Amino acid sequence: MLSAVRAEEEPAQAQPQSDIHTVLIAEDDAVSRRLLEQAVHSWGYTTISVTDGASALAKLSAVNGPRLAILDWEMPGLSGPQVCRILRARTASPYIYLVLLTARTAREHLVTGLASGADDYVLKPFDPMELQLRVRTGQRIVELQHELLAARQELERRANHDALTGAANRGAVLSKVESEAARAARQGSHYCLILFDLDFFKRINDTHGHRAGDIVLKEAVRRAQIELRPYDVLGRYGGEEFMVLLPGCELRAGQVVAERLRTCLAESPFVVDSHKLTVTASFGIVCSAQPHTSLEMLVDAADSALYRAKANGRNRIELAKAQSSSPPVSLRGSAGTSSQGGPRRLSFAMPDPELPVSEHASSATGGPPTMNPVFDRNVLAQVQDLIDDGSNFLEDLFNKYLSNAATALEQLKSPLPADQRRRVANTLRGASLSIGAAGVADACRRIERGLRAQPDADTTAWVELLEGQIERVRERYPLEIVRMASRSSHRVQQQR
C-alpha cells in the first residue's frame, strides 16, 4: 500500500532537487563534444553528453534533470532551436538556461536562435573564457530561481498543511473536496467522505499530557496515510477529528477503506514514552451518490454518522442517512473558515465544461485506477507552431520516443535495483510530458512513487499499465500528427 499523498494535488509537496551543477552538452560532432566536456569539467561542473536533439529534450525534461544546457544548432532529429522552442512552450518550472552553440554568424540566425527561447548565443569555434562566463551567468539565474521556488514551496506547505501532523489543514481539504465534487459532476462519477474522531482523546491529554496527545495525533496520521491511495486526501478537520476524501469511490468501497483505517489505529497500541496507549476512532461515511443539495449537507451527513458511531459505543463505523430526495448539485468555489473562526458557507455553481478533467478516478478496493487520456491536448497545442512552420520533425521525434520508451520498458521489467528503475521511470516521464503523452507520464509517476514507498514491491502490475499506455501512444500519435497537420493546412487556407 502506498503511503504518499497525491503529489499533483498537493501544492506544498516538496519537488525533486533541481540539478543546478550539471551541464547538458548536446553536440553530434565527437571532437567538438570532447572539447566542450573538457572545458566544462575544468570549470567545476559535471556533464551529461548526448548526440541528438531528441535525447537532449528527454534529459532536460526529466523532473530532476540538468538546468544548464549547451546545445549545438545542427543536430540529428531536432535542432537546437527546436529543442529550445519545445522547452519554452512548457510552463512548468524550474527554469532551464539554454546556450546555443553555432558557426552561423548572420544576424538573422542570431535573432532566430534567441527568438526560439535560447538565453544566449555563442559562436564556433568557441572561446573557453567567454563560454565559461556565459555559463556562470546562467548558473546565477538558475540558483536564484531555485531559492525562490524553495521559499514559495515552503510558504505553500505552511499555508495548506497542519503544522503538527503534516496532514492537509481544514481549508485545504475542503478545497480538495470542492474540486473533486466539480470533477465528479463532469464525469458522472462519485466520491466518498470519511470523518473520523479519536475516541477519548481528552483522557490522553489529561493523563499523559499534551505532548503525548501530539505524538498520538502524528502517529494516527502516519498510520492512516499508509492505508490510503496516493491521490486520496487526508486532512485535519479540527482538534482530533480528521476528514478523508476518496475520489472515484462508491459507498461500499468507502466502507472497506474506513474499516482498514479503523483497524490500523486499534490493532496495535501507540507507544508514548514507554507507555502503551490503546487508541481507537469512530467513523462516519457518506457517498456523493446519496441525495444531497449542497456540499455542506454532505459533510453534515458524515458528521451525523460520526456522532452516531460515538453514541453506539465508539470504535465503529456508521453510514450516513439520506436527508433529501433532491438531485445532487455540483459546486465550485472556496472553502475554509470565516473571519469569525467558524465554517464558511460554500458557494455553488454548475461546472464549467471547459475546465480540465482530473486525471484520476479509481476504485478504493485496490483495483487499477483509470489512467489519463492518451495525450494532453494542451501540450500538443503548444507545439502546433512547429507544424505551422512546415517542420516535419514530429515523425522523427515520435520514432525516437518510442525507441527510448521500449528500452525503458525492458529495463523496468529487468531485476535492476529500485533506485535505477526509478530513474528510468523518471527519465521516461520527462520525455512523455514533453510530447504530451499524459497516460505514459502518469504510469511512470505511479512506478516512481511505488518504488519510493516500497523498494522491494512487485511492480508487474504498474509496468503492465505502462506498457498499455505506450501501445496507446504508438497507435494514436500518427493520427495526432495528421490532425495537427490538417489544422495547420486549414489555417493557412483561411489566411489566404
CATH number at residue 447: 1.20.120
How much is the pLDDT for 474?
86
Measured CA distances, 65 to 25, 84, 382 (Å): 13, 15, 21
Specify whether 152 is located in the same domain as 183: no
The dihedral through the CA atoms of 200, 202, 203, 205 has a sign that is: positive
Amino acid at 177: V
Please give the tally of structural domains in the chain: 3
Grid cell of 159 as nine digits? 499555508
Specify whether 221 is located in the same domain as 127: no
Task: Look at strands 241-246 and 192-198 and give their pairing.
Answer: antiparallel
Bridge partners of residue 234, in order along the sequence:
244
Specify whether 154 is located in the same domain as 31: yes
Specify whether 443 is located in the same domain as 381: yes
- 263 Cβ contact list (under 8 Å, min separation 6): none
Strand order in the sheet with 317-319: 233-238, 241-246, 192-198, 281-287, 317-319
Q: What is the mean pLDDT of residues 321-328?
A: 49
Specify whether 13 is located in the same domain as 130: yes
How much is the pLDDT for 360?
35
Is-contact 59 427, C-beta < 8 A?
A: yes
Domain-embedded: residue 393: yes
Q: What is the mean pLDDT of residues 80-84?
A: 90
Specify whether 197 is located in the same domain as 142: no
How much is the pLDDT for 93?
67
Specify whether 74 is located in the same domain as 34: yes
Among the candidates 273, 301, 319, a domain finishes at 319
Specify whether 196 is located in the same domain as 274: yes
What DSSP line would sit under 210-241, residue for residue? HHHHHHHHHHHHHHHHHTS-TT-EEEEEETTE
Is-contact 429 441, C-beta < 8 A?
A: yes
**Virtual torsion, Cα 63, 2, 444, 70, nearest 10 deg:** 10
Domain-embedded: residue 272: yes
Specify whether 149 is located in the same domain as 36: yes
Amino acid at 105: T
Can you tell me the distance from the alpha carbon of 61 to that of 58, in angstroms, rounded to the nearest whole number?
Answer: 5
Specify whether 202 is located in the same domain as 240: yes
Highest mean pLDDT among 111-115, 207-211, 432-436: 207-211
Domain-embedded: residue 74: yes
Domain-embedded: residue 324: no
Q: What is the mean pLDDT of residues 206-225?
A: 95
360: left (phi over 0), alpha (psi -120 to 50) or beta: beta
Domain-embedded: residue 288: yes
CATH number at residue 15: 3.40.50.2300
Domain-embedded: residue 26: yes
Domain-embedded: residue 290: yes
How much is the pLDDT for 353?
29
Grid cell of 196 as nine digits? 473520523
Q: How confident is the model at residue 14 (pLDDT cuts 50, 70, 90)?
A: very low
DSSP state of 368: P
| Model confidence at 143: pLDDT above 90 | no
Q: HEC string of 42-67?
A: HCCCEEEEECCHHHHHHHHHCCCCEE
Q: How confident is the model at residue 354 (pLDDT cuts 50, 70, 90)?
A: very low
Can you tell me the distance from the alpha carbon of 436 to that of 381, in angstroms, rounded to the nearest whole number?
Answer: 9
Can you tell me the distance from the alpha carbon of 492 to that of 496, in angstroms, rounded to the nearest whole number?
Answer: 6
Specify whether 49 is located in the same domain as 185: no
How much is the pLDDT for 322?
64
Domain membership of residue 236 as a residue range: 170-319
| Model confidence at 390: pLDDT above 70 | no
Among the candidates 319, 343, 358, a domain finishes at 319
Can you tell me the distance from the alpha carbon of 229 to that of 2, in angstroms, rounded to the nearest whole number?
Answer: 6
Q: How confident is the model at residue 378 (pLDDT cuts 50, 70, 90)?
A: low
| Model confidence at 309: pLDDT above 90 | yes
How much is the pLDDT for 77?
84
Domain-embedded: residue 152: yes
How much is the pLDDT for 487?
62
Specify whether 51 is located in the same domain as 143: yes
Among the candidates 109, 129, 158, a domain finishes at 158
